[in-house]
């Protein structure tokens, strides 16, 4: 009497762990996207305001350019993310619909195909066939979608949520260099902005590396070097244009 209960308990624990891993993976993907969006906002806006600051000391002009860059960049990021996720969602739905038709027209052939897939993964023919039959009996479409297409038939990314997250992340990242360069420290706006951008990008590089399981030092150095090059080049161009005008 106790053995079936133990099996059921083990299955329940495994299912719960799998669910938690799935939820955690989704959260990490969103967090990673947020960090990358903020990183883009910091670098692009810092480059823009530094370029304008190189051409003029007028705080109003720098603020206007920075705000315009923040709004335009946020909308562009959101629009690009919405389009990308929508296209991915449409492709997944089309692939699932095709798989659904094939299952209805040739269930035996699809069963052999699923068994073949697991056989290629290293299972014996007997075990692969057994696994394919059990998965098909439970949810044939889900089994084929995960094995053959690598997608979840029950969950699809939301284009609206992805767009909103990208908009907020980019705008949030853009605020830092914008506030730094338009602060009351007019005579020190350039070093203050450089310091603020480098510090923030070091943080986003560290967080992004930790999320992805990579070495943080390389990510931080990469972020800082790119930002310094961006600000240095745009500031130099701004000075040249400002002098020419």
Residue with tokens 């699932």: 96
Query: Are the CB atoms for 193 and 46 separated by under 8 Å?
Result: yes
pLDDT of residue 16 exceeding 70: no
Q: Which domain holds residue 88?
A: 42-244
CA 235, CA 227: separation in Å to the nearest integer?
A: 12
**Banded pLDDT at 171 (limits 50, 70, 90):** very high
pLDDT of residue 35 exceeding 60: yes
**Banded pLDDT at 32 (limits 50, 70, 90):** low
Query: Taking the CB of residue 62, how many other CB atoms lie within 10 A of it?
Result: 23
Structural domain count of the chain: 1
Give the single-character DSSP code of 183.
Answer: S
- pLDDT score recorded for residue 67: 94
Does residue 15 lie in a domain region? no
Give 151's Cβ-side CA count (13 Å radius): 19
What mean pLDDT comes out for the span 77-106? 87
Query: Taking the CB of residue 201, how many other CB atoms lie within 10 A of it?
Result: 26
What mean pLDDT comes out for the span 57-69? 91
Does residue 159 lie in a domain region? yes
Does residue 55 lie in a domain region? yes
pLDDT of residue 72 exceeding 90: yes
What mean pLDDT comes out for the span 108-135? 86
Does residue 164 lie in a domain region? yes
- pLDDT score recorded for residue 6: 43
Does residue 34 lie in a domain region? no
pLDDT digits (tens, 9 = 90+) for 176-235: 899 998 888 888 888 999 999 899 888 888 887 777 677 788 888 888 898 889 888 998
- pLDDT score recorded for residue 144: 80
Does residue 180 lie in a domain region? yes
What mean pLDDT comes out for the span 48-65? 89
- pLDDT score recorded for residue 124: 87
Q: Which residues contact 15 (CB under 8 A, 6 or more apart)?
A: none
**Percent of the chain at pLDDT exceeding 90:** 13
What mean pLDDT comes out for the span 142-148? 81
Does residue 99 lie in a domain region? yes
Selected residue with higher pLDDT from 70 and 27:
70
CA 48, CA 192: separation in Å to the nearest integer?
A: 16
Does residue 76 lie in a domain region? yes
**Banded pLDDT at 64 (limits 50, 70, 90):** very high
What mean pLDDT comes out for the span 4-10? 44
What mean pLDDT comes out for the span 26-45? 76
What mean pLDDT comes out for the span 43-47? 90
């Amino acid at each position: 009497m106790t053995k079936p209960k133990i099996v059921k308990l083990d299955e329940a624990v495994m299912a719960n762990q799998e669910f938690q891993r799935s939820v955690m993976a989704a959260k990490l993907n969103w967090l990673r996207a947020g960090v990358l969006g903020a990183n883009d906002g910091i670098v692009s806006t810092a480059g823009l305001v530094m370029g304008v600051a190189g051409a003029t000391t007028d705080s109003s002009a720098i603020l206007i350019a920075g705000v315009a860059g923040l709004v335009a960049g946020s909308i562009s990021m959101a629009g690009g993310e919405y389009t990308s996720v929508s296209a991915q969602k449409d492709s997944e739905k089309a692939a699932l619909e095709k798989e659904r038709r094939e299952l209805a027209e040739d269930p035996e052939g699809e069963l052999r195909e699923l068994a073949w897939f697991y056989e290629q993964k290293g299972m014996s023919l007997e075990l692969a066939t057994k696994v394919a039959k059990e998965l098909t009996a439970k949810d044939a479409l889900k089994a084929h979608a995960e094995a053959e297409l690598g997608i979840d038939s029950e969950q699809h990314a939301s284009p609206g949520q992805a767009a909103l997250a990208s908009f907020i992340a980019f705008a949030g990242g853009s605020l830092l260099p914008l506030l730094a360069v338009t602060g009351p420290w007019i005579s020190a706006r350039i070093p203050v902005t450089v310091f603020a951008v480098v510090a923030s990008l070091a943080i986003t590089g560290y967080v992004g590396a930790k999320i992805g399981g990579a070495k943080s030092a390389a990510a931080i150095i990469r972020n800082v070097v790119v930002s310094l090059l961006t600000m240095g080049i745009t500031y130099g161009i701004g000075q040249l244009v400002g002098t020419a005008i």
